[in-house]
Amino acid sequence: MSDLLLNFIFQFFVISCSISSTPSNFLKPPDIYGTSSEVSLEMMLETAKNYNLSIYLPNEVPKNLELTAIYLKESPFIAIVVYSAESNKDYKTAELTIEIAPVDLKWIPTYSELQSEAAESQDKTAMEINT
């Protein structure tokens, strides 16, 4: 076979193997439902205590919202707290969800860093709450 034909076949094979009509599993975020279980608030707090974590949840939410579910993955600790006005337990579609996971403080910007970033942008705002 000619070099041109071999080159064409090789390129066709590489391109056809590289293009897929379905997205790769490596690009999707993990689904918490497959790695967690629904637990009570008390169970989540007890597990957090075992990890020496303090959890602060809002003591007030809009009147129509209520706590509907808590999903907990124990290792590493990840909790998703779900609030809904429609008894929705799905963290993907409920009105309010709060994810709780330990994080190294070096990854959390300070309020002054957020203010500085917001000052340089037209579409960002830094607000301090609970002060």
- Per-residue 3-state assignment (H helix, E strand, C coil) for 39-75: CCHHHHHHHHHHCCCCCCCCCCCCCCCEEEEEEEECC
Bridge partner list, 84: 66
Q: What is the pLDDT of residue 29?
A: 54
Q: How far is residue 80 CA from its own chain's centroid?
A: 9
Instruction: Give the residue extent of every domain in the chain.
Output: 30-119
| pLDDT: which is higher, 38 or 131 | 38
Find the range with the poorest average confidence among 34-38, 47-51, 78-82.
34-38
User: Can you give the pTM of this predicted structure?
Assistant: 0.62
Q: Please, are residues 97 and 83 in contact by the beta-carbon 8 Å criterion?
A: yes
For residue 67, count other CB atoms closer than 10 A to its CB: 13
Query: Across the beta sheet with 96-100, what order do the strands follow?
Result: 37-38, 66-73, 78-84, 96-100
| pLDDT: which is higher, 111 or 19 | 111
